[in-house]
A = this chain, B = another copy of it.
Amino acid sequence: MVIVMGPEATRQDVESIVTVVQAAGVEAFVSRGVRRTIVGLVGDVTQLDAAGLRGMSGVRDVMRVSTPYKLVSRENHPQRSTVHVGGVPIGPETVTLIAGPCAVETPEQTLAAARMAQAAGATLLRGGAYKPRTSPYAFQGLGERGLRILAEVREETGLPVVTEVVDAHDVALVASYADMLQVGTRNAQNFGLLQAVGEAGKPVMLKRGMSATIEEWLMAAEYIAQRGNLDIVLCERGIRTFETATRNTLDVSAVPVAQRLSHLPVIVDPSHSGGRRDLVLPLTRAAVAVGADGVIIDVHPQPELALCDGPQALVDGDLDELATLMRDLPPLLGKSAATPLTV
């Protein structure tokens, strides 16, 4: 931590800082310049409150030097991690395709979508039984009935299931059906939910909040990790900007940045980023090329009848192209398509 004093700060102001800091067991190095004084802090600064220091007399700025997250940071864990979901790896060696319907509607629709996903090379099935919707009048998901459908389709296809949980008190129920729990963008700072999935004993996919900085996203992951669960996959899904031509702006740079700051795998959701079917394949290519460890994609057998986000779902005709890119692109990046572990 570095404390920058204002030009008006007195010698007394600086001494007060040093006293407070040393009381917390931290060393203070004072550099006096022509116009201002800088106090560099060295040691364990976690017990110091930056905001409190900033409020002290003569202080102009307090700059943090270390990262505020620990367990998910790559500083203490230089090797990138691989998370296994029902035997399927997500990590630095592979590009994992997760696909399925945005919302589970019927057993037939879910099975048909899962077959489409599999045909395109998917090794994990996505599907929502609990849907967080901006409008209380929109379809909110089938709930436990949807979870049962997902479990049946897993039985049928062998695909492990990724599904969203939206309330801390549904975590145990959802975890009893799912292979991986998804925390959505609207819950990226729902700390009770983050802690609950941290205790659920299942891998977690954590979507970035729609206006979360990369640091806030990693802090959210730290909430999960702090409860003992390090099987976390980060998912970039577009951020909110001034541009209205796309539903969100896919922040493709966030993938390598997050991979440098954290050891956790990072995947991309090209469907929700763009919000338009014609952008899904180009954005999937961009995601794989930038180094994402996987992608999660909406497919639907009849998107015009979809109860949720139909316009961004891939249809049958797109699957060949998706399969081709998932086959050809990863090897250029020293990765392979993910395949389940043979037991």
| Residue pair A34, B29 in contact (C-beta under 8 Å) | no
| Nearest-Cβ distance from residue A170 to partner chain B, whole angstroms | 9
Q: Kindly state the separation between the CA atoms of A274 and B192 in the bound complex, as whole angstroms.
A: 27
Q: Does A65 interact with chain B (Cβ within 8 Å)?
A: yes
Given A56-B304, A186-B189; A239-B243 close (CB under 8 Å): yes
- Closest residue to A225 on the B side, CB-wise? B136
| Residue pair A33, B38 in contact (C-beta under 8 Å) | no
Q: Which of under 10, 10 to 19, 20 to 34, or 35 or more describes the interface residues of A? A: 35 or more
Give per-residue flags for A169-206: 1 if the beta carbon is below 8 A from chain B beta carbons, else 0: 10000000000000000110111100000000000000
Chain B residues within 8 Å of A36, by CB: 65-66
Q: Does A317 interact with chain B (Cβ within 8 Å)?
A: no
Contact of A31 among B7, B42, B137, B168 (CB under 8 A): B42
| Residue pair B211, A240 in contact (C-beta under 8 Å) | yes
| Residue pair A256, B278 in contact (C-beta under 8 Å) | yes
Contact of A136 among B65, B167, B222, B291 (CB under 8 A): B222
Chain B residues within 8 Å of A306, by CB: 51-52, 55
Q: Kindly state the separation between the CA atoms of A87 and B241 in the bound complex, as whole angstroms.
A: 38
Q: Kindly state the separation between the CA atoms of A215 and B214 in the bound complex, as whole angstroms.
A: 23
Chain B residues within 8 Å of A246, by CB: 253, 257
Query: Interface segment, A113-121, A127-135, A148-156?
Result: A127-135
Q: Kindly state the separation between the CA atoms of A43 and B38 in the bound complex, as whole angstroms.
A: 12
Q: Kindly state the separation between the CA atoms of A222 and B135 in the bound complex, as whole angstroms.
A: 8
Contact of A51 among B27, B34, B282, B309 (CB under 8 A): B309
